[in-house]
Amino acid sequence: MEVIRILKGGSLSSTIVVSCGGKKFIRKSISFKENREYGLVRWHSQIRKIQTLNKFMPDASICIENMGIDGDAYYYEAPYYEGSQNCYDALLKGEPPDLLATKISVLLGRMAEIGYRHNPGALAIYINEEVLLPLKNAFNLANTGMLSLQPNESSIFIDEVAEAMEITKKLILKTRYAQVQESLTHGNLTLENIIWDSHRKEAIMIDPYAETYCETIIGDVSQLLQSSRSGYEFISNLLGKRLFRVDQYPIQEIPACLSCFSTCLLKRVSAESWYSEEYLAILSASQFIRMFPFKQVTNPRQGLLFLYHGIQLLKRALC
C-alpha cells in the first residue's frame, strides 16, 4: 500500500488516499483506544449509514470496499473519485451555486421519498439531547471557570447560555407531541460531506451519520445551511488565523458564493411537503450547539464561538 495524499479528517479520524494493486481508495481510520465516544462510535455509525444509503441511492453515495485493522486503528476504504472535490471547495473555486443547489435539492427529495413511520416526540428527544444537554454542560463549565473565556466574556456568556436553556425547555414542551415527517437522511450533510464530480456534474454523498434521534430531511437542510449561510467551514479556517470574541461571530466575512448557495437551496426546498421553517430554525441552531462537547476536546475557543452563534439562532427560532 502506498499513501498518495493526506486529506482533512473529521470526528477524530484520519483520512488518506491510498493506492493498492494499481487502484486508489479513500481510507478512513479511527483509533479504538482514544476518545471512543466521539471517534469510534461515530465512525461505526457512518458504516451503518453508508450501507443504507448505498442500498437505496447507489449512484449518489459511496460504498465500502474494504475494512481492516492497522495498529491501534480500524479503517474502511471507499472508492476514490479522480479529479473530484467537495462541494465547499467547488463553490469557492467558481462552480455555480444554483447548479449545486439544484443537484443537492434533488438528492434531498430522493431521500425524503423513502419515508419512515412518524414517531411523535422524536424531535423533542433530539432537542433535549442535542441542545439542552450541551447547554447545561457549557453552563456548568462556565460557572466553575473551566472554559477558555476572557474576563470580559464570562458574564455575557453565562447569561446567554442560561437564557438559551429556558428557550430550549419551552421548545421541548412545544414539540413533545410533534409529528415530524421522517425519512432516509444523510445525518451530517455539510458541504464538505458531498463530493462534486465535475466531469459528470453530479453530487455524491460521503461521511454520513446515524445518530440524529429524529430522522427528518430538514436536519440535512440545516446542516447545508450550517456550511453555507453560517459558513461553518469558512469561519473555522478563519479562526485558525485570527482571534475573535466568542460573542462576535464574523458572519459578514462569509463569501458571497456560500450565501448565494443557501438562498438557492431554500428557494428549491421551501415548497416541499416536508419543509417547515419553524423546525428548520430549531435544527439550524442545534447544529452549532450540539458540537460543543466535541469541540471542547478538539478546539475549545472554536466551540465557544460556535455555541454562542447557535444560541443567537435559537433565539430567532422562538420568535
Q: What is the pLDDT along the chain (319 residues), one digit of tens a residue?
A: 788 788 876 667 889 998 888 899 999 999 999 888 778 988 998 999 999 999 999 999 999 999 999 999 999 999 998 888 999 999 999 999 999 999 999 999 999 999 999 899 999 999 999 999 999 999 999 999 899 888 888 999 999 999 999 999 999 999 999 999 999 999 999 999 999 998 889 999 999 988 789 999 999 999 999 999 999 999 999 988 888 888 999 999 999 999 999 999 999 999 999 999 999 999 999 999 999 988 887 888 899 999 999 999 999 887 6
> Locate cell 461571530: which residue?
249
Within 143-302, strands assigned E span 194-197, 202-205
Please check whether the domain covering 2-79 is classified as CATH 3.30.200.20.
yes
pLDDT in tens, 280-305: 999 999 999 999 988 887 888 899 99
Identify which of 103, 137, 30, 110 has the alpha carbon closest to the alpha carbon of residue 73. 30
85-318: what CATH class? alpha beta
Q: 181 in helix, strand or coil?
A: coil
Q: pTM score, two decimals? A: 0.93
Structural contact between residues 217 and 269, judged by C-beta atoms closer than 8 angstroms: no
Residues 6+ apart with CB under 8 A from 280: 218, 221, 222, 225
Give domain limits for the chain: 2-79, 85-318
